[in-house]
A and B are shown apart, each in its own frame.
Chain A
Amino acid sequence: MKYLKQFGIILLISFIGEMLHVLLPLPVPASIYGIAILFLCLECKIIKVEDIKETSVFLIEIMPVMFIPAAVGLMDSWKIIRPSLLPYGIITVVTTVAVMAVSGRVVQFIMRRRGKRCPEEMNPGGRDRGNYE
């Protein structure tokens, strides 16, 4: 029963998110509304983390698998992309690497400059901070 109840709560929030997506004229998908709703429910203690913990851990763990069907769709869009594959490919790779490098460096730079360097708190789980340097 525990898992059924947990999954039920998550589906209810998905459903509310879906409704908001249809009702509100914004380009926001159901899942984003859902994250906001669940977060607020947790903050306001309407839902306790224990009420959904195991199921949410499981769903997040198997999340990569859920992208397979959409990504396999590339075999269909292949025909449209093929003529300009090179520019699309280069732009996709270059911008992805650039965004990751810039946003990560900026966050790290600001956090360190502000002197909030406290390895214990920044590093839950005891990962070694100096690992890469």
Chain B
Amino acid sequence: MNEFFETSVFFGVFISLLSYGLGIVLKKKWKLAIFNPLLIAVAVTILCLCLLHVDYAVYKEGAACISFLLTPATICLAVPLYEQIELLKKNYKAIMIGIISGVLTSLTSVFLLVLLFRMDYASYVTLLPKSITTAIGMGVSEELGGYVPITVAVIIVTGVIGNMLAETICKVFKISDPVAKGVAIGSSSHAIGTAKAMEMGDVEGAMSSLSIVVSGILTVIGANVFAQFM
């Protein structure tokens, strides 16, 4: 039976969609942040793979057609950005300063916490690009000498946390403006957070998309500077 799951063409995609569907049902029933569809989907999929003794590599191959769509989908974020360009032009100063302060907060807080936990240089540079999109973050970590697989894991967890807590954090910190919400989500939790911002509204989604691009580029420069501090 195990062999069947390993050779099945549709198993990987099906289990991903099924667990995501389960996440949506749970979210509808209990409106708690912990019932985040993405989080539930990942947890349920991992559980199924463990129970059925399917290796990640095998699953990944089967689910490749989902990941394949990621680049085209990310590119589509240019559409809401284009549609909201007037709003962006009108508030570009606030948006840019917001993204810059987000990048600086990310780098500084990583620096301080790494000092607090007495971690080594490699762990430090592993964590520096944690708030930016995976592809750029991996490059930064590799170039500075970090542990790339950990960087990837931390970036994904950051995204899931952002996706899960975005509404709560905005509420607690009284961030009520859609532009501010979008910048906050995009600068802190890249594309995975942006998926949430798109659900919140077009303005949030557009600003979040913009923040991924700008904070990604700024972090490449910033991480190189911050790497000298240790």
Contacts and interface: CB of A to CB of B under 8 A. Distances in A.
A124 B56 contact: no
A72 B42 contact: yes
B162 interface: yes
A102 B189 contact: no
Interface in B119-133: 119, 123, 127, 130-131, 133
A73 B60 contact: yes
Interface string B97-111: 111011001100110
A104 B98 contact: yes
A28 B17 CA distance: 30
A125 to B, nearest CB: 6
Interface in B174-230: 174-181, 183-185, 187-189, 191-192, 194-196, 198, 201-203, 205, 209, 211-213, 216-217, 220
A71 B38 contact: yes
A106 to B, nearest CB: 5
B166 A42 contact: no
A2 interface: no
Given A67-B159, A110-B97, A91 B136 contact: no
A84 B122 CA distance: 13
A30 B226 CA distance: 26
Contacts of B1: none
B109, B166, B203: most-surrounded residue (chain A CB, <10 A): B109
Interface residues of B, number: 118
Given A63-B195, A72-B56, A77-B150, A11 B185 contact: no
Tell me if A's interface is mostly helix, strand, loop or mixed: helix
Contacts of B140: 27
A101 B161 CA distance: 13
Chain A interface residue bracket vs B: 35 or more
B49 A35 contact: no
A36 B149 contact: no
B77 A35 contact: yes
Interface of A: 7, 10-11, 13-14, 17-18, 27-32, 34-39, 42-43, 49, 52-53, 55-57, 59-77, 80-81, 84, 87-88, 90-108, 110-111, 114, 116, 121-125, 127, 129-133
Contacts of A130: 176
B130 A103 contact: no
Contact of B59 (A18, A61, A72, A107): A72
B79 interface: yes
A55 B76 CA distance: 9
A59 B189 contact: no
A107 B94 contact: yes
